[in-house]
Structures are given as structure tokens and as C-alpha cells.
Chain A
Amino acid sequence: DAGITQSPRHKVTETGTPVTLRCHQTENHRYMYWYRQDPGHGLRLIHYSYGVKDTDKGEVSDGYSVSRSKTEDFLLTLESATSSQTSVYFCAISELVGTGRNTIYFGEGSWLTVV
């Protein structure tokens, strides 16, 4: 398994509170991603990063912000959590190594419940 660690793995928080999820990699991969997974919606990209301090929005970025100050860490912040952000969040990493050898590796997921 690729060296990807997500923290916390499980969290329950109250509506309106800020929450930060951390993704840490030991693979020195350039690309990092945050997805959320919900029944009936599959995987939806929240934000991604293509280098230190280089980030861009995905398809469901509203209510989320990210930061990448080091290659190995990609933080996802919910500034003011809402119940609609109750979900499983997956971090993923990738490196462009050439056609046929590109792979995206996933972390184990962070279960977030907003009450």
C-alpha cells in the first residue's frame, strides 16, 4: 500500500464548527486530491493540488478550503461544518510517470458526522 495517512479517521462535530482533515503522504507524489463519497453519488472531487501552494477546485468545492504548504501534507478545512457535509472523505495521491504506469492511490478514509 502507498504511504498515505488520513487523520482523524473518525470525527463527530457540531454544526457551525470548523473542521480540518489532514492527509499525509510519504511517496513524494506531486498530485493530491480530496474526495467525498456519498451513496448514490460515488466519488466527487472537492479540491486537488498539483504542487506546493498550487491547488484548484473540484466539482463540489463550496464550503471547503485546502492548503498545501509541504509536498507531504494536504489539509482540507470545513470552515463552518453543515449536516450536508456528513460524509466519508478520501485523500488520494498520484504521480505522472508515463503512459500506462499512472495510478492514483487512496487513503483509508475519514468518517465525518456533523450533528
Chain B
Amino acid sequence: AQRVTQPEKLLSVFKGAPVELKCNYSYSGSPELFWYVQYSRQRLQLLLRHISRESIKGFTADLNKGETSFHLKKPFAQEEDSAMYYCALIRNAGNNRKLIWGLGTSLAVNP
């Protein structure tokens, strides 16, 4: 079964501490993975996609096919990083093109 798992519902860290939000996936094929962020009562915004290998707002994520993981990391958390983070992968099969979502991790960065 195709699935995205985010094992932590809530992650609380102090400002300046490193943060890692975990994401594991199950997919029969080459996955195309994303991280989305949702600030309070706002739309979901694309944060990262694994293909681009870019760093956005200090966050990075590396696809580890051996461990089927796509963890999101930031070396020094900021208070403005407090938000809901969703990991997702795209599934393409004919006309069926959908994102498979994790349940999200709420990140709280404390002063």
C-alpha cells in the first residue's frame, strides 16, 4: 500500500535548537516527495520538493531510498517556524494523479 507516515503529531523545541521532522513512505516506484507548511489558519504552501535539493527558510530534506525516508531538518529553529508540516508524495497513474499525505506534525518553537 502507498502510504506516508509522520510518526510525531507534535514536536516541541527551543529556539536555536536543531529540529528534525520525520517522514517515512511506502511506494512501489520512484517517489516524488514534498514538504508543505501551513501557518496558523493559512493555506498550505510548498516548502521543499526532493528533486530540487534546495534549502528554503533554512530547511533541507534528503531522500533516503534505503530507509524510505524524507526527513525535514533545520539546524537552528526559529519561533516563526512554528507551524504544521505535512509530508506528501505524488502518485501518477493515468488520470489518477493525487498526493498521498501524512497526517502532519505540529512544530512548536519555544522562546
CA distance A45 to B75 in the complex (A): 33
Chain B's nearest CB lies how many Å from the CB of A37? 9
Instruction: Please list the residues of chain B having a beta carbon within 8 angstroms of any beta carbon in chain A.
Output: 32, 34, 36, 41-46, 49, 51-52, 86, 88, 90, 92, 95-99, 101-104
Interchain CB contact under 8 A, A90 and B52: no
A12 at the interface (CB under 8 A from B): no
In this complex, the member of A43, A100, A101, A103 whose beta carbon has the largest number of chain B beta carbons within 10 angstroms is A43
* B98 engages A99 (CB within 8 Å): no
Chain A residue numbers with a CB within 8 Å of B52 are 100
User: What is the chain B residue whose CB lies nearest that of A30?
Assistant: B97
Which residues of A line the B interface, CB within 8 A? 1, 31, 33, 40-43, 45, 48, 50-51, 54, 56, 58, 90, 92, 94, 96, 99-109
Are A43 and B46 neighbours in the complex by a CB distance under 8 Å? no
Residues of chain A within 8 A (CB-CB) of B86 are 42-43
Interface SS of chain B: helix, strand, loop or mixed? strand
A45 to B88 alpha-carbon distance, docked (Å): 13
A90 to B38, CA, bound (A): 12
With a cutoff of 8 Å between Cβ atoms, the chain B residues found around residue A58 in the complex are 98
- Nearest first, the 9 A-B pairs at minimum CB distance are A100-B51, A42-B103, A50-B95, A106-B44, A106-B43, A108-B43, A43-B101, A42-B104, A42-B101
Contact B97–A96 (Cβ < 8 Å): yes
Instruction: For the complex, give the distance between the alpha carbons of A54 and B95 in Å.
Output: 9
Residue of B whose beta carbon sits closest to that of A91: B43
Specify which chain A residues have a CB less than 8 angstroms from the CB of B43 in the assembled complex: 1, 90, 106-109
Q: Report B43 CB to chain A, min CB distance, Å.
A: 4
Question: Can you name 27 A-B residue pairings with CB atoms under 8 Å?
Answer: A1-B43, A33-B98, A40-B103, A43-B101, A45-B98, A48-B98, A51-B95, A56-B95, A56-B96, A90-B43, A92-B44, A94-B97, A96-B92, A99-B32, A99-B51, A100-B32, A100-B51, A100-B52, A101-B51, A102-B32, A102-B90, A103-B34, A103-B49, A108-B42, A108-B43, A109-B41, A109-B42
